[in-house]
Amino acid sequence: MNYQLSSILDVFRKPSQDLGCVSEPPAEIKGRRRHLTAPGAIAGALLEAGAWSETGWMGPARWGHRATLLANGKVLITGFYSRIAKIYDPASSEFRLVGPMVRQHGVYSTATRLNDGRVLIVGGSDAPHSTEIFDPESEQFSALYSLRFPRSAHSATLMADGRVLVAGGEVGPNNAGLAYAEVFDPVTGWFKTVGALAERRTSHGAVLLQDGRVLLVGGEHIRPDGKPGDLRTAELFHPVSGGFEATGRMNFAHENLWCTEPQVLDDGSVLIVGGASARCAELYDPLSGRFSPTGRLLTSRSAATVAKLPDGRVLVCGGYSISENGVAATLDTSEFYDPASNDFSPAASMREGRQQHTMTVLPGGRVLVTGGWDSAAERDLASAEVLWCAPAEVGEQAS
């Protein structure tokens, strides 16, 4: 999508309270200048509240990767076509090397923080059988037992009992979608097969509900005619029985939910957004098992990132949109979803358009995005940005 320069500037000129962001950065960063490690980068730009600011250089470039918030507030970056892993330190705004990883996992692996602080890495396009563990104390990776079923573009969900449900995904040239699921036990280090999914699915979304069940939604599969198709179905996993059961049917097809992850809201409902040619969003009610439309995205977007903020709102960033003539364009725009009004409103635009990137909510209301793919420039991204955000009430009280 082509944006006029004036429209981009208008977003940044909006008062910070309109964007739901603090009018000033926290006291500890006032006047502090960023240190950029990228060759040729313009260092010394001030962090600006209410707008995205460049932060340390993630390099190497990557998309379809993972960013995992550690217990110490730092962020582990894994995945893509190398064994290089990095940690982002919000205090210094810098990335540094750790590891290396045991295997090159390629794109669409998963990285799940366990209750003991370690991070479980599972599958991916280049290592569909492989799993490994990152230890934040030693900052080293170690190999685990192989998956029972190879997979990529799957889901890996930490459950209330500390185990991890690994479900669905794809493997092989036809990417038909898998109905297999297994559970990782961090005590034994083993993967155990559990019941089969109600439907084959890959690139789906999965989230832990407040009652302990796991909701799996959407994704893709291969239709009987041999062509890929988007799913509107959903199902629930019961940790005690180890079985799956179908639940309500979505009103819209939401693709790329591996990247655009569903979000559990404060009232226990689940927000699902996204679609390259539609501005659709809907809520899942765990009590009734039904989906209902809610609000409309300001821009249709797929392969975006979604994250729930501490004040209960949800931030949606980037992705791509398909125009009427069928051209896909990477987006730099962002927007907020407010559960109180069931509506979307503008947020500050990122400095670069990104799709298949990561977004992580840091301690203190900061939001970090890393990497991604820019279709306009046809390049992988090694950059990262930070948005200083605070509860909407702060901006309203300051107005």
For 229-243, what is each residue's pLDDT tens digit?
889 999 999 999 999
User: What pairs with residue 388 in β-bridges?
Assistant: 366
Distance from the Cα of residue 152 to its chain's centroid:
16
Give the model's confidence band at 398: pLDDT under 50 very low, under 70 low, under 90 confident, else very high: very low
List C-alpha distances in Å: 45 to 32, 35, 42, 51, 56: 9, 9, 7, 13, 12
Q: Among 165, 226, 151, which Cα is nearest to 195's?
A: 165
Q: Among 161, 164, 108, 159, which Cα is nearest to 133's?
A: 164
Give the model's confidence band at 391: pLDDT under 50 very low, under 70 low, under 90 confident, else very high: low
- List the helix and strand counts (H, then E) for the chain: 2, 34
Instruction: Please state, in angstroms and rounded to a whole number, the distance separating the CA atoms of residues 135 and 183.
Output: 20
Question: 314-351, pLDDT tens digit by residue?
Answer: 999 999 998 878 888 999 999 999 999 999 999 999 99
Cα-Cα-Cα-Cα torsion 245, 248, 253, 254, nearest 10 degrees, comes to: -70
Question: Tokens 């990883």, residue?
Answer: 101
Amino acid letter, residue 256: N
Residue 378 confidence (pLDDT) above 80 = yes
**Mean pLDDT within 133-161:** 97
Output the pTM of the full model.
Answer: 0.85
Residue 161 confidence (pLDDT) above 70 = yes
Give the model's confidence band at 39: pLDDT under 50 very low, under 70 low, under 90 confident, else very high: very low
Instruction: Please state, in angstroms and rounded to a whole number, the distance separating the CA atoms of residues 148 and 79.
Output: 21
